[in-house]
Structure 1
Amino acid sequence: MAAGARASEPSRKVIGRSVVRPRQQVEETIKAAILSGELKSGEMLPSEAELARQFNVSRGTLREALRVLASQHLIYKVPGARGGTFVQSVDYSALGDVVTDSVDNLLALGSIRFDEVTHMRELLEVPSVRLAAEHRSADDLAKLHEIVDRQKAASVDDPSIPELDRQFHTLIARASQNRVLASFVAALHHASEPVHYLDLSPEVGRETVKQHQAIVRAIADQDPDAGERAIVEHLTYLRHHISAHRAK
């Protein structure tokens, strides 16, 4: 009978939740205010003394919470008399910053290899070009033409070449209209910096510009298949030259 009574008892309702530490409460409250838009991008937070008073916590607890939020790229500190703690811009570019920092750190630690980064970038750049061919705007196209024209006019020792190459590949990724893809392509391109690993001769410079022109032409024609062929040819060319340069 007792066993039957126990079997008929309703299941216990769970109404409790774990109590978070003061640091975690501060962190979660500020994070919620940022993500809800209550705290706007670029807005300066109250001083540490004022925040500690509002949350009724020690300055040490508050600083620990702010360090965690900074590591999540939600806030940043500006030193100096006119500085303070500001809300970081929270958009797809912030995702790229997080990925860039993470990949850079992993490369520095030796946890991942350079060739793994370049291979992943290549895998992402093919769909990036295909999508750009489908979704590019007239403004995207005008900017790509401008970059290629500047590359064509630059000498191989022009210090602007790495930045122009970064802009070229990043803009194609943005033209894909997939912001997550754009963030990853930009981050991985920054980490691998292919131009720095090329033995830049006038011949290599001319061939690279020629390949860029073929990519832009396919995007202009809104031809994803031609775009894929052009980017694969370009990436294959880069891979062979980078491998030869690193072998030296």
Structure 2
Amino acid sequence: MELGEKILRPREQVEQALKKAILSSKLGTGERLPSEAELARQFGVSRPTIREALSSLQMQGLIRRVPGAGGGSFVQPVDHQSLGEVVRASMQNLVRLGSVSFEEVSLARQHLEVPCAGLAAENRSAEDLEELRQVVREQKTRSVDDPLIAELDMRFHTIIARMSGNRVLASLVYALHHESEPVRYLDLSPEVGRHTVAQHQRIVQAIGAQDRQAAEAAISEHLAYLREHIRAALADQPSGGTGRPAPAGV
């Protein structure tokens, strides 16, 4: 008969107790945790032990830590961005070290973003649609060498993923797009920029019409277009261009 149990270190005990309080909703979303000094008193451990436990919870995406006099540790809301940050941290090394190929990332985005667009068409609200239209309007006013182009592209794709209503799908799209940042690696010409914005407009129109099939077809065409341009860039500049690493995906 096995009688022994694994004896946890103080840091692990604190971490598990706090995690249990968060996952059971004893600590609610956005709630501020007691100070490090107060947690150390309650658990009967040192402040460095509390600090280690909080750092681990932060890495897991369960809390966020805000520095300064009015800061502290707060329970993280479970939305696409907080989940995505957890996923992104896990896949970051794989992407940057080249352990994941361009084709793998490209195929993953295709499988994720196409159904996201379809779900967005079915589930979108008027507010969601206006937010998406505003991104496209802003894209139309900026030149292809504007540093905000990459951020706008990420916003466009992650808004659609969020509109799907599926937080897991949205977090994966957020993490994948954040790591690959495709537009940063494209040598965008005005022609490519115009085509990209036109494709974004067709995606928005389909979502606005709540036409699932049209939305899926439009985003599939858009991803294929970007993929071919990045393939061509990689073929011409195998080192990734002017000092930049080759992209992991589109």
TM-score (norm 2): 0.83
The equivalent residue for 1:50 is 38
Instruction: Specify the code of the residue in structure 2 equivalent to 1:206.
Output: R
- The 1:185/1:63 distance shift into structure 2, 3 A limit, reads same
Cα distance, 1:112 vs structure 2 = 2.3
Is the CA contact 1:166–1:189 (under 8 Å) kept in the aligned structure 2? yes
CA shift in 2, pair 1:25/1:221, >3 Å = same
Q: CA RMSD in A?
A: 2.4
TM-score by length of 1: 0.84
| 2:215 is equivalent to residue 227 of structure 1 | yes
Of all paired residues, the percent bearing the same amino acid is 62
Q: 1:143 & 1:77 partners in 2: Cα distance?
A: 29
Consecutive aligned runs of 4 or more in structure 1 exceeding 6 Å deviation: none
- TM-superposed CA distance for 1:84, in Å, is 3.8
- The one-letter code of the counterpart of 1:147 is V
Alignment of 1:14-163 (within 5 A): 18-80=6-68, 83-163=71-151
| Whole-angstrom CA distance in 2 between matches of 1:157 and 1:62 | 46
Q: Distance in 1 between matches of 2:8 and 2:188?
A: 56
2:48 and 2:199 map into 1 onto residues whose CA distance is 55
Partner of 1:164: 152
Count how many residue pairs are aligned between Structure 1 and Structure 2.
236
User: Any conservation in 1 of the 2:63–2:75 contact (CA below 8 Å)?
Assistant: yes
Larger Rg computed on CA atoms: 1
Q: For residue 218 of structure 1, what is the amino acid of its counterpart?
A: A
The answer (yes or no) to whether the contact 2:203–2:215 under 8 Å persists in 1 is yes
Which deviations, in whole Å up to 9, do the C-alpha atoms of 1:69-121 show, x marking residues without a partner?
Answer: 22212234444555544433343421111112222222233332344223211
Aligned partner of 1:215 in structure 2 is: 203
Deviation at 1:125, TM superposition (A): 0.8
- Segment drifting more, 167-176 vs 84-93: 84-93
Contact 2:59-2:86 at 8 Å conserved across structures = no
**Cα distance in 2, alignment partners of residues 175 and 71 from structure 1:** 26
**Structure with more of its chain in helix, by fraction:** 1
Q: Give the unaligned 5+ runs of structure 1.
A: 1-11
1:24 positional shift: 2.3
For the 8 Å contact 1:73–1:94, the answer to whether it is kept is yes
Give how far 1:60 is off.
4.2
1:194-205 matched pairs, under 5 angstroms: 194-205=182-193
Would the aligned equivalents of 1:23 and 1:65 in 2 still touch at CA under 8 Å?
yes
Cα 1:89/1:227, change in 2 over 3 Å: closer
| Structure ranking higher on relative contact order (CA contacts 8 Å, 6+ apart) | 2
Aligned-partner Cα distance in 1 for 2:191–2:57: 48
Amino acid in the other structure paired with 2:8: V
Alpha-carbon offset, residue 239 of structure 1: 0.5
